[in-house]
Amino acid sequence: MHIDTIPAPADPAWQQEALCAQTGGDFFFPEPGSSVREAKRICGLCPIRSACLEYALEHDERFGVWGGLSEKERLALRRTAR
């Protein structure tokens, strides 16, 4: 299944179940040049990681870690999906 064929959830209520909502956004929106390792670790444990990634790709989120991927990783994913 390709990510460009999966519709993103229309209702953002799914975000309340995300582990990032329970830990705070500092890990997920670090200062430029800072590590995203902790954010990716938390994402790896999150039950809605795929919904988060779908949302980020659908809404062209340009900043932060979404669905376990950094900005650069999502950009590379978008380029390969084309």
**pLDDT tens digit sequence for 20-71:** 988 888 889 998 889 999 999 999 999 999 999 999 999 999 999 999 999 9
Asked if the model's pLDDT at residue 4 lies above 90, the reply is no
46 is in an annotated binding site: yes
pTM, to two decimals:
0.80
Cα-Cα end-to-end distance for the chain: 15
> How many separate helices (H) and strands (E) can be counted in the chain?
4, 0
20 is in an annotated binding site: yes
48 is in an annotated binding site: no
Provide the pLDDT for residue 11. 63
Asked if the model's pLDDT at residue 7 lies above 50, the reply is no
Better-predicted residue by pLDDT, 70 or 6: 70
Provide the pLDDT for residue 3. 45
Residue in 31, 78, 80 with CA at minimum distance from that of residue 67:
78
